Amino acid sequence: MSRERARRRAEREAERARAAALRAEREARLARRRALTGRVAALLPRRSARIVSQGGIIARRRRTQNGVVAVLFLIAQAIVWLLWSSWAARLGALVLSLLFVPLFVTLVFDRRS
């Protein structure tokens, strides 16, 4: 009985040693990666100012319009994807959508006329 317990204890200790070795290897790899990232970051120029998005009414309207256009484009592509199984039809719809998006934006959102 005690030999069996000793054998199991030895197996557990060997497993713990393997896990500790893997953990130490992983930590060493992470430390090397962090050091490399730090060296590369030190070579890159720092940004002088934070980039802040505009918050005015025109900027907000523009972001909304761009979001609407993107959602409509994605919906059109999803409908084409679901209705046609032909790759040629899907690719043709993608190309036509890419060509008609600027036309749609100009016709719907242009305020110069």
- What does the domain layout of the chain look like in residue ranges? 1-52, 57-109
Confidence of residue 109 (pLDDT cuts 50, 70, 90): confident
Look at residue 9 in the predicted model and tell me its pLDDT. Answer: 93
Residue with tokens 């005015």: 56
For residue 33 the two structure tokens come to 């990666």
Contact (CB, 8 A) for 56 and 66: no
Residue with tokens 């998006």: 101
HSE of 21, CA atoms in CB hemisphere, 13 A: 6
HSE of 106, CA atoms in CB hemisphere, 13 A: 5
pTM above 0.75, yes or no: no
Look at residue 113 in the predicted model and tell me its pLDDT. Answer: 57
Q: Would you call 113 helix, strand, or coil by DSSP? A: coil
Chain-centre distance for alpha carbon 98: 23
